[in-house]
Structure 1
Amino acid sequence: MVDTPVLQVRNLHTYIGSPRGVVQAVDGVSFDVAASTAFGVVGESGSGKSVMARAIMGLTPSHAAVTGEVYFQGRDLMSLSRKDREEVWGKQIAMVFQDPGRSLNPVVRIERQITEGIRRHLGVSRSEAHDRALTLLQEVGVPDPERRLRNYPHELSGGMRQRVMIAIALACEPDLLIADEPTTALDVTIQRQILDLLRKVQTERGMSLMLISHDLAVVAGRTDRVAVMYAGRLAEVGSTRSIFASPHHRYTHALLGATPTLDHERHAPLNLIAGSLPSPTDPPTGCRFAPRCEAATAECSEENPPMTVVDRDHRFACVNPVSALSLSSVGGTTDGR
């Protein structure tokens, strides 16, 4: 594994004004993504994962306040103008969004949507761009790619549209691909195909992948490292194997405990995390998971716990971490089954 980070995020904040107050969507997040590795970001819906990804890309609303540091291959993305960022998008960093039906232009044929970025960033001819688009559709498993290039998005299934989105993202050979909940609207069989495809192209091309999901089973076995987000903050980050085998933060432990496993007793109720995410406009002081945590003490509500280092690749923010005795009750496996 290459240790040199392709992406470095330091103390990233993203606050967004709303009629109900200021939404603290991302509140002081820091992590690295190493070159040629897959990095997972997990957490319940509303944890700030997608907003964080958009802040990294520079795609937040104009009224959002984004502060912190984001370095891509040593280049300060936060200091770039809109024009300079557009040169990075697609060519160096690409993104696959949640809903391909909304991301693809409904009145433009698939070929043009794939070749537009190729011709702009790579400066190739129309015929060369066509050939590359054909190859990309073959690579992502689209049957009869020549015919699909002439289709409009509504003529494709949800799974095929997502494969087209991945082809568009891969078109200019980016060094980092951000996949934001790429299987949300797909059935279970297609979900697995898309996830396996992402991992396959990531390893074959030697690029970095940031895979964002609310489902721990999605990142298990498909990522090298995982960051667990809760209410805009990082709860825990470390190697995927370490996070699944020895979770320290109470939220990580609860998420794993709520994950169904093959040996789960039939008809037995699943473990649930009581309560819900705090309001992003009025989060509690201290640890934001404290109101839902069975092990919370007065100390948990006083101040935000600092990151505690387990080893060079594992750290967590919890003043009452999971004990070794509790780890035997954790559900889930590292192979995603």
Structure 2
Amino acid sequence: MSSEPLLSVRGLRTHIRSPRGIVRAVDGVSFDVCGGEAFGVVGESGSGKSVMARSIMGLSTRLAGVSGEVVFKGRDLLRLSRKESRSIWGKEIAMVFQDPGRSLNPVVRVERQLTEGMREHLGVSRSEAHDRALRLLKEVGISDPERRLRNYPHEMSGGMRQRVMIAVALSCQPDLLIADEPTTALDVTIQRQILDLLRRVQRTHGTSMILISHDLAVVAGQTDRVGVMYAGRMAELGTTARVFETPRHRYTEALLKATPTLGHQRHARFNLIGGALPDPTEPPPGCRFAPRCHAATGECSEGALVGVPQTDEGHQVWCINPAGTPAVVLAEGESVAR
């Protein structure tokens, strides 16, 4: 893994116009992804994870205003023309969406969806693209790839469609792969297969990966570093082991306490996070988790204090009253805090 950032996001904001006002879906997010690194992004549904990923890819809605810097290999993606962006999509940055049933074209055979990017970006012949497509389907674990190339997406199971999506994303050997909730619609067994496949492919090809999920256990076993998002902002950022074993932000601590473990007593109550995400059109001042935080003080509502992260050996936390919690061990050796 390289120590130099492949992707550097600084002050990313995505504000969306709506009838109720401006939705601050992403509101000042900053992080780096190094070459060959697997970076995780976790948080509750509605925290802005998917909007952030689409903003990086330049796929935001027309009602969105996107600002900040997204520097990829020395180029600010937010300053590129549509034509320049199209030369990067698929070839240098690819995305695996959470719903392959909606992302794959239902009236186009799998072979065409696999090969058109290769022919466009790599300039290979039809026969060479066909051979590459066969190899990709084998690599992602699809049996009888020759027959599957002739299939339409609806003729495949959800797990197979997601494997096809991964193959499409890898077809031009991108430098960065963004996987947005890639296992949401799959059963537990297929989820593990898909996650193991992503990690194996990422390591084999030396591809950098951003793995987005609301499932902490998914990110714990698959990433090198992790960022915890809440209400459009980054709450905590550091190595996966350190963030999960010694969480510092009160939101990270609450998330981990709410994670079920194998040792959970039958009929015992789960630790829930009270309240709900704040209204993105009228977020509270200062720390946005403060209305739900049991340790909040008056200072937590002062934006100037909360907006500056505390940094300790690369571990950043946007909290002026940070926590310190011992760890417990989940299934498969995944360490998280109780």
TM-score range, shorter chain: over 0.9
TM-score by structure 1 length?
0.96
Q: CA deviation at 1:329?
A: 6.8
CA contact (8 A) 1:219 1:336 kept: no
CA contact (8 A) 1:38 1:225 kept: yes
TM-score by structure 2 length?
0.96
Distance in 2, matches of 1:333 and 1:30, equals 31
2:57 matched to 1:39? no
Matches within 5 A, 1:177-326: 177-303=177-303, 305-322=306-323, 324=324
Return closer, same or farther for 1:276/1:332 CA change in 2, 3 Å cut-off.
farther
CA contact (8 A) 1:241 1:334 kept: no
Task: Give the residue type in structure 2 aligned to 1:312.
Answer: E
Return closer, same or farther for 1:329/1:197 CA change in 2, 3 Å cut-off.
closer
Alignment equivalent of 2:326, drawn from 325, 328, 336: 328
Distance in 2, matches of 1:149 and 1:201, equals 20
Distance in 2, matches of 1:279 and 1:131, equals 51
Which 5+ residue runs of structure 1 have no aligned equivalent?
none
Distance in 1, matches of 2:333 and 2:319, equals 26
Return closer, same or farther for 1:334/1:22 CA change in 2, 3 Å cut-off.
farther
Deviation digits for residues 214-247 of structure 1 (CA, Å, limit 9, x no counterpart): 1111101210000000000000000001101111
Which 5+ residue runs of structure 2 have no aligned equivalent?
none
Deviation digits for residues 125-154 of structure 1 (CA, Å, limit 9, x no counterpart): 100000000000000001111110000000
Distance in 1, matches of 2:330 and 2:17, equals 38
Q: CA deviation at 1:170?
A: 0.1
Distance in 1, matches of 2:310 and 2:278, equals 26
- Tell me the residue number matched to 2:99: 99
- Tell me the residue number matched to 1:73: 73
Matches within 5 A, 1:44-123: 44-123=44-123
Return closer, same or farther for 1:244/1:333 CA change in 2, 3 Å cut-off.
farther
Distance in 1, matches of 2:122 and 2:283, equals 46
Return closer, same or farther for 1:10/1:278 CA change in 2, 3 Å cut-off.
same
Distance in 1, matches of 2:122 and 2:192, equals 32
CA contact (8 A) 1:256 1:332 kept: no
Pick which of 201-210 and 70-79 moved more: 70-79
CA contact (8 A) 1:94 1:176 kept: yes
Distance in 1, matches of 2:254 and 2:308, equals 19
Provide the aligned C-alpha RMSD in A: 1.4
SS at 1:124 equivalent: coil
Deviation digits for residues 104-129 of structure 1 (CA, Å, limit 9, x no counterpart): 00000000000010100000110000
Q: CA deviation at 1:296?
A: 0.7
Task: Give the residue type in structure 2 aligned to 1:125.
Answer: S
Q: CA deviation at 1:335?
A: 4.0
- Name the count of aligned residue pairs: 334
CA contact (8 A) 1:253 1:330 kept: no
Deviation digits for residues 243-266 of structure 1 (CA, Å, limit 9, x no counterpart): 011110000000111111122222
CA contact (8 A) 1:235 1:249 kept: yes
